[in-house]
Amino acid sequence: MKKQLFQLDRRTFMAGLATSVALPGAIGLSAGSAFAEAQTPKRGGTLTTVAWPGTTYMNAAITTSGPESFLSPKFFDGLLGYDFGMVEKPALATEWSIAEDGKRVTFKLRPGVKWHDGEAFTSKDVAFTFMEVLKVHHGRGRSLFADLQAVETPDDLTAVFVLGKPAPAMLKALDGRESPILPAHIYAGTNIMENPANTKPIGTGAFRLASYERGASVVMERNPDYWDEGKPYLDRIILQYIPDASTRTAMLEAGQADIVFLNFLPALDTLRLAAMPDFELVEAGYETSASNQQMDFNLEREIFKDARVRHAIAHAIDRQWIVDNVWHGFGVAGASPLHHDQRAFYTTEGVPQYALDLAKAEALLDEAGHPRGANGVRFELTIDPTPYGDESLTAAEYIREQFRQIGIQLNIRTQDYAVFIKRCWTDRDFDLCLYTAAMGADPTIGVQRFYWSKNFKPGVAFSNGSSYSNPEVDALLEASQVELDPDKRREQFAKFQQIAMTDLPTLPVVHTTRATIGWQKVKDHTVDALGSLGNLANCWIDG
Amino acid sequence: MTVGSQSLIVRLLRHPSGLVGLLLIALAVGMALGAGFFFPAGPWTMAGPPRLWPGQNAAFLLGTDSLGRDLAAGLFHGSRVSLAVGASAAVVSILIGTVVGSLSGYYGGWLDDVLMRLTDAMQTIPSFLSAIAIVGIVGPSLPTIIFAIAIVSWPMIARLVRAEFLRLRTYDFVQSCRIIGMSDMRIIFTQILPNCLAPIIVASSVLVATAIIVEASLSFLGLGDPNAMSWGTILGNGRAALRTAWYMTAIPATALVLTVLALNLVGDALNDVLNPRLKERS
């Protein structure tokens, strides 16, 4: 029966393929095709997708964890959306303007927007959400909105953000995933973390919650009163939580799921399916969750105080090899502390690069006073790869072999996630620490924390783990926090990238890319920088 | 019961499953001993292009894994770790089990009660789960893994030895030893224990097989020693590529199956050979 279904689908798709610009198997090229075709969207249909792990809440205003990040934008809108390249576009706010001094940001809100329960959306909701929820309960919001002193509401459709100092990064964090707007009439005066609406969302978003079975599934249905006329196109989105990655692959292959977002399939399975004509791989639409795999040198260790040792290690690791064989092509060789999706600021111009050169690595180590001993070993190090996913452990196995060739004996230490976090950021009992972390929609949000000396905070995970301190870098990072001129800000980050890659307290290993793999019939799921982490209002099913 | 080692081997070889089992074990031990000779670069060297299928390149007969490591080298060096862990864990659990079982069976009384309740308690804990827990808490390294496996598998030996002691301690030769004033320890270790070696030997072959499987399962789950390549490590590494390159899991899995099968065959054969009532059949 499965086979019949498959053939039927295949026939339908062959017809569609004739007009499609997507070349099956041409992974790099197919990225644009989902949104490049000018077909008329069809209304109706159900989109089924799978993910893991299950969610705790339904809104991402009170948590930064992954499952909520995906769900929240379906139920809730943000003030802004983002086109490719993180260019702001209207959502709940239709216009916005920044005062000369950068300390007042005025948002004109969209009229006629209703909450799912029929109440009208007003500027009170905006003020409440930022002042009482995001500033207090959101992991990144606490620091991002630290200088937000008040949200003034001169009328129902105007919200004015009053800032202690300019905050250019803030404008990149106002979407429904990062800063969803919650209804004040439901949350005001309640214990926000305990509010039942956290699992029974009432938003302004394109979809409403139809049913939720904890740890098993979330069913969303179309919001007929959505402010974006005629959207969403889908009647329903069904999200099933499936713990086993191979089962997720099998479900997509059998047509029990239409699409899988956020790399929820093993990389090799994704590539195998992408090579089939019925499936399409899209690597765009993850700009707000750009992540780097990086390796911290513990600069408190005597041996790493010499930059030559750090440079030698960088010369011994072929980052492209790790991209190809550990990430199976889903990434770009690490070349900057930023991520390449931070397009406005990312640069490799004038930024020192460390090409694979074992002879040079050995020369640098000799020069630094670490000759090979009688057994060929110069010194011994331990690496702690994060137990989150396999990629860090596998990359560590590769690094160990590279180190062996330049006379460094590397031991790999594995442990559970809690012990790993405690060892690297609290006890600081490590030499090298390898992990993947989000770089944020803006470098101030995600990158600064690893390099700013004031963020060397033992006890805080994913802070400045190398204990790097360079006054020049601190000055650049602090200036970029409040710089309103985009060109000056770009210069500051360019200089920062040059210095950070010269000092090399942290080695960027891979700028990872994420992928969506789905049946060809699913159209327009990735239409902007937010992709599947947006509201999927433009998504439709052909056939 | 006094069986010369010479004739034991000969009788094992005459036993059909004993012969097959011994040959397979000899092969595995041969691989372990020859690993350094055939693959001096070790199992971790990324010697070739990644994901090479078996037979695709004459230099890598069994192909390479997703990091370009020679699977044949992994298989040979992995046999060292797998067999060593299996044997050491079995020895440790036999030691613990024998001591507990013999004391319990010989003395009886409150000591028996205490030790047997302890054994009961250990047996109620699912052994694989507690191995995971121990490795998770202490941290994965070969000694920890050996300790974890031994800690969960000794109760079986303890029960076996206790049963034998309960039977043998009433026999006349034990009574006569007591009468001539032999010390308890001497009776236990020189008189009774040699007479219950047969079931211990049979059980130990199964124990080694179980230990190898537990180690492989731990490594498969990523709880193995990251600095030691065992068959389970290769299995675990190949898991992600199961649909695209099944040989990465099939090759170490075959080695595991054959080794465990061989140990069970030898166990069966030993049971037949050492059981006096079945002597005619062997």
pLDDT digits (tens, 9 = 90+) for A41-99: 999 999 999 998 889 999 999 988 889 999 999 999 999 999 999 999 999 999 999 99
pLDDT reported for residue B153: 92
Residues of B near A (Cβ–Cβ under 8 Å) read: 44-46, 50, 66-68, 136, 139-140, 222-223, 226-227, 237, 240-245
ipTM of the predicted assembly exceeds 0.90? no
**Is residue A471 in some structural domain?**
yes
The minimum CA-CA distance between A268 and chain B, rounded to whole Å, is 6
Instruction: Name the interface residues of A facing B (CB cutoff 8 Å).
Output: 246, 249, 266-269, 271-272, 325-326, 387, 390, 393-394, 396-398, 400-401, 404, 411-416, 419
**Do A261 and A385 share a domain, yes or no?**
no
Residue B59 maps to a domain: no
pLDDT, residue A11, reads 37
Q: Please say which residue of A132, A166, A198 terminates a domain.
A: A198
Q: How confident is the model at residue B48 (pLDDT cuts 50, 70, 90)?
A: confident
Return the biggest CA–CA distance within chain A: 79
CA A245 – CA A171 distance, rounded (Å): 36
| Average pLDDT value for residue range A387-391 | 83
Does A325 sit within 8 Å of B240, measured CB to CB? no
Q: For tokens 């507990």, what's the residue?
A: B100
Q: Positive or negative, the Cα torsion across A153, A154, A156, A157?
A: negative
Report pLDDT for B278. Answer: 63
pLDDT tens digits, A177-233: 999 999 999 999 999 999 999 999 999 999 999 999 998 999 999 999 999 999 999
Contacts of B90 (CB under 8 A, 6+ apart): B153, B204, B207, B208, B211
Q: Which residues pair with A161 in a beta bridge?
A: A105, A151
Co-location of A332 and A423 in the same domain: yes
Q: Is residue B125 in a domain?
A: yes
- Shortest distance between the Cα of B245 and any Cα of chain A, in A, equals 9
**Same domain assignment for residues A444 and A368:** yes
Q: Which domain holds residue B101?
A: 17-28+71-274
Q: Residue A163 pairs with which residues in a beta bridge?
A: A148
Give the chain A residue nearest B223 (alpha carbons): A414
Give the residue with greater pLDDT, A25 vs A415.
A415
Mean pLDDT for the stretch of residues A5-28 = 37
Say if CB A364 and CB A309 are below 8 A apart: yes
Amino acid identity, position A518? G
Note the pLDDT of residue A30.
40
Q: Between vectors from CA A271 to CA A267 and to CA A273, what angle results, nearest 5°?
A: 115
B54 inside domain: no
Q: Are residues A246 and A173 in the same domain?
A: no
Classify residue A392: in a domain, yes or no.
Answer: yes
Q: Evaluate whether residue B118 is within a structural domain.
A: yes
Q: Which residues of B touch A326 (CB under 8 A)?
A: 67
Residue A22 confidence class, pLDDT cut points 50, 70, 90: very low
- Looking at the fold, whether A488 and A348 belong to one and the same domain comes out as yes
| Residue A60: per-residue pLDDT | 94
User: pLDDT > 70: what percent of chain A?
Assistant: 93
What's the CATH code of the domain at A104?
A: 3.90.76.10
pLDDT at B229: 93
Per-residue DSSP letter, A91:
S
Burial A121-160 (b: 16+ CB within 10 A, else e): bbbbbbbbbbebbbbeebebbeebbebbeebebeeebbbb
Q: Which of B46, B243, B245 sits opposite A401 (nearest CB)?
A: B46
In a domain, B282, yes or no: no
Plot region of A157 (φ>0 → left; ψ -120 to 50 → alpha; else → beta): alpha
Q: Kindly state whether residues A381 and A391 are assigned to the same domain.
A: yes
* Residue B270 in domain: yes
Supply the pLDDT for residue A3. 35
Q: Are residues A501 and A520 in the same domain?
A: no
Quote the percentage of chain B above a pLDDT of 70: 95
Q: Does A396 contact B136 at a Cβ distance shorter than 8 Å?
A: no
Average pLDDT over residues A118-132: 97
Express each pLDDT in B189-206 by its tens digit. 999 999 999 899 999 999
Domain that holds residue A144: 66-198
**Distance of alpha carbon A469 from the chain centroid:** 26
Q: Give residue-wise pLDDT tens across range A244-259.
A: 888 999 999 999 999 9
User: Which of A195, A215, A196, A220 is closest to A73 using CA atoms?
Assistant: A220
Q: What is the pLDDT of residue B90?
A: 95
Q: Which of A266, A325, A404 sits opposite B67 (nearest CB)?
A: A325
* Confidence check: pLDDT of A21 > 70: no
User: Using CB atoms, which residue from B50, B222, B243 is nearest to A269?
Assistant: B243
Position A24 pLDDT exceeds 60? no
Q: Are residues A508 and A519 in the same domain?
A: no
CATH of the domain at B245: 1.10.3720.10
* pTM summary value: 0.83
pLDDT of residue A13: 38
- A401, A405, A416, A422: which to substitute to probe chain B, counting the most B Cβ within 10 Å? A401
Listed residues A159, A182, A198: the one ending a domain: A198
Res A64: pLDDT? 84
How, if at all, do strands A148-155 and A158-163 pair? antiparallel
Please indicate, yes or no, if residue B205 is contained in any of the structural domains: yes
**Contacts (Cβ under 8 Å, ≥6 apart) of A422:** none
Assign residue A252 the CATH number of its domain: 3.40.190.10
> Which whole number is the average pLDDT over B252-276?
92
Q: Are residues A364 and A294 in the same domain?
A: yes
Q: Which residue of A has its CA nearest to B221?
A: A390
In a domain, B233, yes or no: yes
Over the stretch A127-164, which tens digit does the pLDDT of each residue have? Answer: 999 999 999 999 888 888 989 999 999 999 999 999 99
Question: In this predicted structure, what is the pLDDT of residue A112?
Answer: 95
Identify whether residues A380 and A417 lie together within a single domain. yes
In percent, the amount of chain A with pLDDT more than 90 equals 83
Give the residue-averaged pLDDT of A334-359: 95
Which pLDDT score, from 0 to 100, does residue A99 have?
94
Q: How many domains does chain A have?
A: 3
**Number of domains comprising chain B:** 1
